[in-house]
Chains A and B, each alone.
Chain A
Amino acid sequence: MTKALSAALTFTLIALAVVSFSSVAHADETKMLGVITKIDCAGKDAKTASVVLKDNKSENTVSITVNDDLTLDKFKDHRIVEGDEIRCKYETKDGKNVSTYFRKTAGC
């Protein structure tokens, strides 16, 4: 009985640990450096935009959701355009890659 209880407790703890760690990993920030291949920003009043970045390393494309006003402004007045190289960090929330950092790499 004690052994069974101990086994059940151990299983529960392991299961809890797995669930906890996977949610931590889920909220982790991913970094990437890539070139913008597409920007979808619906007009001057848009509160969100969808951007496709092509990862410089893997050449995979990643769809990023951008919600911050400063970056949205740069899409709207075209200070950031397709072809620009971007240093990006994002978190995956509800299946979307939500940008937490979105900056052009180019200097002067």
Chain B
Amino acid sequence: MGKLTIPFAMLAVLITVSVTFAKDHPGREYMEKNGFNGAATCEECHPGVAREFLDTVHWKHASKVTNVDNIDPEQEYGMKNREYTFCNGNDIVNNLKETPRNSEGKSKFTGCNTCHPGDPGDELHGVGSTGPAAEASIDCLVCHSSDYDFRLRKPVKDDKGRVIMRQDRTVKAALAVARPSAKNCMTCHESAGGGAYVKRGFLFTRENDAHAARGMVCVDCHKTRKHKIPTGFDPNNWANDGVRLACADCHGKSPHKDTHINMHTDRIACQTCHIPRTGGAFSKDFTNWTKQRDGFYEPTTLNKEANETTPVFAWYNGAVANTPRFIGPKGSRDDKKSRIYPFKVYQAKAYYNKLDGNLLSMDFAPPIATGDTLAGVASAAKTLGIKKYEPVPGWQTIYLASSHLVTRTKALSCENCHAPNGVLNFRALGYTEIETEKLTTPSIFFEEYVKRHAEKDDW
């Protein structure tokens, strides 16, 4: 009995310490006495962390990219500078600014940086900036506080007329500092693409995601070290911190009890069966904006709810085809590195330069105010130094990874794919007619299915 006393006492101390730290971040007295001065205050206990953050994708919105066609592997790419249609701009041409006045005489602050001011930081020391001023401008609390007041995070003009983004630097917010919750991440990520659930189309809730149902948060999978956040290989999400994650990191390569299901994992990605739904915007027209009731315009968008649509399936080996008209997965049945993945397909109409075939970016401020999309193209061309161009409308197709909305109970089962007109189009995926015929009859799974259900006494 006595032998057990010490381990139990140690466990009790450990639990007490954990609970104490979870509730109350050290430094309360310091902050109550000195106030909260942004990253400078954090640096008192976490020296070097601000400089470290400046070297991440969340700050730079760009990184070297090695898996995408037709780009320079020595340059950095990302939301900072990409020319694509989700959205039809980037941080350079759509930096935080005030729009011209609309027909009702109103203007507003707009730009990618209304969500991502240096992301986070302030607009004067924004995307990719370096040095002490940039470090001091980081908005640590927008990711780390559970009591952030978003009324304080608004774009305003300073006394020199420059547009800046304010932050919540109150002691109240600072005292609620913690490991980022799902809410911290989703505050920005749910709004990607111009509104709630527009781009990714997933709602990270207990009802919609098996990991959320277990109380997990984003950083449980996206395990962050030195502010570098691992990501998967989304064909449309190029910038990365050099660290990756995959389902198998936690679940292994044979995650099922049933060996027949495990036989699929070499060629079928986990997401294919376990993420049968997607959602959000499936098409936008950047050449023709729609007037809103407040007199401002927005790109005409066809939108579905989170979890409302079905994905398409394609072979993917992690390499990305990138042309002005198509951004999507590379791979094939013959390529043993390829697996079948689900994707959300998105198509958008935007202006192309007839002279070279490249997509033209758009500064959103002019069309937001007047609906004049060509004025937006002209403004972006001026910013980017493009002197000769002839804008013509055209379509771009983008495949976005479908990696959230994970379900266990509603995962695809044998009969969903192995049937005529099933979920997977085997012919389109490169299977012969004879193979397809074999793959789409119950004979391929019938006996095992009966056996499995008999073992489970499943009626």
Q: Tell me the A residues contacting B by CB distance below 8 Å.
A: 33, 44, 56, 70, 73, 77-79, 81, 85, 103-108
Distance in Å from the Cβ of B346 to the closest Cβ of chain A? 16
Cα(A44)–Cα(B196), bound, Å? 23
A79 to B194, CA, bound (A): 15
The answer to whether A108 and B196 touch across the interface, beta carbons within 8 angstroms, is no
Complex CA gap A106/B298 in Å reads: 9
Can you list 9 contacts pairing A with B, beta carbon distance less than 8 Å?
A33-B293, A44-B147, A73-B183, A85-B293, A103-B196, A104-B196, A105-B195, A107-B298, A108-B111
A78 to B149, Cβ gap below 8 A?
yes
Distance, CA A106 to CA B295, complexed state (A)? 12
- List B contacts of A85 (CB < 8 A): 293-294
Candidates B147, B151, B183, B194; contact of A108 at CB < 8 Å: B194
Q: Are B195 and A106 closer than 8 Å at their CB atoms?
A: yes
* Residue of A whose beta carbon sits closest to that of B111: A108
Min CB distance A74 to B, Å, is 8
> With the chains together, A85 CA to B194 CA distance in Å?
15
Residue contact A78 to B150, C-beta cutoff 8 Å: yes
Q: Give residues of chain B (178-236) contacting chain A, Cβ–Cβ below 8 Å.
A: 183, 187, 194-196, 198, 203, 205
Look across to chain A and name the residue whose beta carbon is closest to the beta carbon of B115.
A108
Residues in B neighbouring A56, C-beta threshold 8 A: 293
Closest-CB distance, A106 to chain B (whole angstroms) = 7
Count of A-B contacts with CB under 8 A?
A: 39
B114 contacts chain A at the CB level, 8 A cutoff: yes
Mask for B71-87, Cβ within 8 A of A = 1, else 0?
Answer: 00000000000000001
Q: A77-B148, A85-B294 are in contact. List 20 more A-B contacts (CB 8 A).
A: A44-B147, A56-B293, A70-B203, A70-B205, A77-B147, A77-B149, A78-B149, A78-B150, A78-B151, A85-B293, A103-B196, A104-B195, A105-B292, A106-B195, A107-B194, A107-B198, A108-B87, A108-B94, A108-B112, A108-B115
Query: Which residue of chain B has its CB nearest to the CB of A34?
Result: B293
Q: How distant is B349 from chain A, measured CB to nearest CB, in Å?
A: 17
**Digit string of B123-159 for contact with A (CB within 8 Å is 1, else 0)?**
0000000000000000000000001111100000000
B150 touches which one: A44, A79, A106 (CB < 8 A)? A79
With A33-B293, A70-B205, A108-B111 as known contacts, state yes or no: A81 contacts B151, CB within 8 Å. Answer: yes
Within 8 A of A (CB), among B280-294: 292-294
Residues of chain B with a CB closer than 8 A to A73's CB: 183
Give bound CA distance, A86 to B164, whole Å: 26
Closest to A104 in B: B196
Q: What residues of A have a CB within 8 angstroms of the CB of B292 in the complex?
A: 105
What is the CB-to-nearest-CB distance from B368 to chain A, in angstroms, rounded to a whole number? 8
B292, closest chain A residue (CB): A105
B364 at the interface (CB under 8 A from A): yes
Determine the distance from Cα of A70 to Cα of B196 in the docked complex, in whole angstroms: 12
- CB of B110 closer than 8 Å to a CB of A: yes
Distance (whole angstroms) from the CB of A67 to the closest CB of chain B = 14
Q: Fill in one digit per residue for B337-364: 1 if any A CB lies within 8 Å of its CB, else 0.
A: 0000000000000000000000000001
Tell me the nearest residue of chain A to B151, going by C-beta.
A78
Residues of the A chain whose Cβ atoms lie less than 8 Å from the Cβ of B148: 77
Among A44, A73, A108, the most chain B Cβ lie within 10 Å of the Cβ of A108
Nearest 10 Cβ contacts at the A-B interface? A107-B194, A78-B151, A78-B150, A79-B150, A107-B195, A103-B196, A108-B194, A107-B298, A56-B293, A77-B150
B173 closest partner in A (C-beta): A77
> What is the distance, in angstroms, from B243's C-beta to the closest C-beta of chain A?
29
* A70 to B306 Cα, complex, angstroms: 14
For the complex, give the distance between the alpha carbons of A15 and B66 in Å: 71
CB pair B150 A108 closer than 8 Å:
no
Query: What residues on A are CB-neighbors of B195 within 8 Å?
Result: 103-107
